[in-house]
Amino acid sequence: MAHRIARTLGLAVALAGIGAAGAGAADVKSVMKELFAVPSTTGNEEMLAARIRGLLPKTIAVEEAGLGTIAVRLGGTPGPTLILAALDGYGHMVSGITPDGYLTLDRPVPPPHARFDAFLLGQPVIVSTARGPVRGVVSQPAIHLLTQERRRTQVEGFSLEIAYVDIGVRSEAEARAKGVEFLDPVTYPAVLTELAGDKWAGPGLGQKAIAAVLVAVAGAVSGRSGGEETIIAWAAQTKFTARGRGVRPPLGAARAMARWRPRKAIVVDVVAAGKGGSFPVLGEGPAIIQAWDEGPQDLPQALEKPACATGIPFQSEVGAGSSLAIPFVDLGYSYLTLALPVQFLNTPSEVIDLGDVRALRDILIKFLTTGEPR
């Protein structure tokens, strides 16, 4: 994805020294924990949108932009500048109920990688019904009882066609009595694991961390004066693609572009972290990803300069960036991706560094209060 990566470490100023930039911001760790517990698969974003509404300051008006997308508008000189993140994540849904009460599964959107479904085997899951959550487990055959052929097809060749969820009932009627219906979202339990080195792990954690960051940013800058008009948006249905020929952009991002017609756009998304080479590194700050090597650098510099001046760590990269940025390519040099590094991306054990999360928050606050290009 990347052609060049140049890491810019924080200056001698410690991150604690930028506390003033985040004054008034919601505690991002607390917000992350709240949002992490809310399922939000594509097409089922309403619960997460409602929780975000409840966490935003009451003084901020929340706009709706169709499909479930929500946004807040910060006044200023005509623009606007759009800061966009995804509201939805990957997951599964109930596709059927067998006569003996087992649930079958499907996906609302294509998986992010070929092994995505295989993580389900033998794992606990949550079915989010209209009556509340129902716990279940994806069947795991006893391997020592299987023939070599059945082991190859049912374990090594696991697919959704042979996936069954046991919720502890004995019939379809009992399953429906618990509130289970077709298309109910099925996700992993929101088990947050706190690791050494100020790191957290959990399923879909990167996307929820970004949603929490934008809540904290909106609260911190809601009372600002001056600057350009800014819209902070959480876009729904970003895993669906818009209709059309050629490169089809994510539906939620395309609708956001059509709705607000920004002059500048910052797409906030996740990026796979590695140990060097062409990947950003976990713990060295968010990655500022731009699609060009040369040309005007006003927008990246508007993020980088105040970050350097206050010691906020970040990484710079040239590459395609997020797929959410596709609708904004006509903006030329006035769009980029600001990405949170995530280790083991799109697995049940995504790992993030809390230092990266804080740095992401503080870069956006600095940009919106002191660093906007005029």
Q: Is residue 192 in a domain?
A: no
Q: Considering 156, 187, 218, which residue would you say is the last residue of a domain?
A: 187
Q: Considering 137, 155, 187, which residue would you say is the last residue of a domain?
A: 187
Helices assigned H by DSSP within 113-244: 148-151, 172-177, 205-221
Q: Is residue 147 in a domain?
A: yes
**What was the pLDDT predicted at 18?**
33
- The arithmetic mean of pLDDT across residues 245-255, rounded, is 88
**What was the pLDDT predicted at 33?**
96
Q: Is residue 193 in a domain?
A: no
> What CATH number has the domain bearing residue 337?
3.40.630.10
Banded pLDDT at 7 (limits 50, 70, 90): very low
**What was the pLDDT predicted at 243?**
80
Q: Is residue 258 in a domain?
A: yes
> What CATH number has the domain bearing residue 135?
2.40.30.40
| Six-digit token string for 40 | 């939000």
- The arithmetic mean of pLDDT across residues 330-358, rounded, is 96
The pLDDT of residue 4 is above 50: no
**What was the pLDDT predicted at 152?**
56
- Residues 83 and 213 occupy one common structural domain: yes
Q: For residue range 141-184, what is the model confidence (pLDDT) as tens digits?
A: 655 555 666 665 665 667 888 889 999 999 999 999 999 999 99
Banded pLDDT at 26 (limits 50, 70, 90): low
C-alpha 217: how far from chain center: 16
Which residue did the predictor score with more confidence, 336 or 228? Answer: 336
- Residues 316 and 208 occupy one common structural domain: yes
- Residues 85 and 96 occupy one common structural domain: no
- Residues 220 and 323 occupy one common structural domain: yes
Q: Is residue 197 in a domain?
A: no
Q: For residue range 70-116, what is the model confidence (pLDDT) as tens digits?
A: 999 987 777 799 999 999 999 999 999 999 999 999 999 999 999 99
Q: For residue range 290-299, what is the model confidence (pLDDT) as tens digits?
A: 988 788 889 9
The pLDDT of residue 2 is above 50: no
Q: What is the dihedral of CA 104, 107, 113, 116, to 10 degrees?
A: -30
| Six-digit token string for 359 | 């740095």
- Residues 247 and 266 occupy one common structural domain: yes
**Residue 257 phi, psi dihedral angles, 5° rounding:** -60, -45
Q: For residue range 333-344, what is the model confidence (pLDDT) as tens digits?
A: 999 999 999 999
Mean pLDDT, the chain, integer:
87
- Residues 85 and 98 occupy one common structural domain: no
* Number of structural domains in the chain: 2
Burial per residue of 291-316, b for 16 or more beta-carbon CB atoms within 10 angstroms, e otherwise: beeeeeeebbebbbebbbebbbbbbb
- Residues 76 and 108 occupy one common structural domain: no
Q: Is residue 123 in a domain?
A: yes
Q: What angle do CA 140, 167, 141 make, to 5 degrees?
A: 10
- Residues 343 and 241 occupy one common structural domain: yes
The rounded distance, in Å, linking the Cα atoms of 116 and 91 is 9
Which residue did the predictor score with more confidence, 353 or 245? Answer: 353
- Residues 44 and 112 occupy one common structural domain: no
**What was the pLDDT predicted at 66?**
87
- The arithmetic mean of pLDDT across residues 34-51, rounded, is 96
- Residues 122 and 62 occupy one common structural domain: no
Range of the domain at 178: 92-187
- Residues 241 and 361 occupy one common structural domain: yes
Q: Is residue 124 in a domain?
A: yes
Q: Is residue 300 in a domain?
A: yes
Q: Considering 152, 187, 222, which residue would you say is the last residue of a domain?
A: 187
Q: For residue range 307-320, what is the model confidence (pLDDT) as tens digits?
A: 999 999 999 999 88
- Residues 76 and 100 occupy one common structural domain: no
The pLDDT of residue 39 is above 70: yes
At position 80, the amino acid (one-letter code) is: P
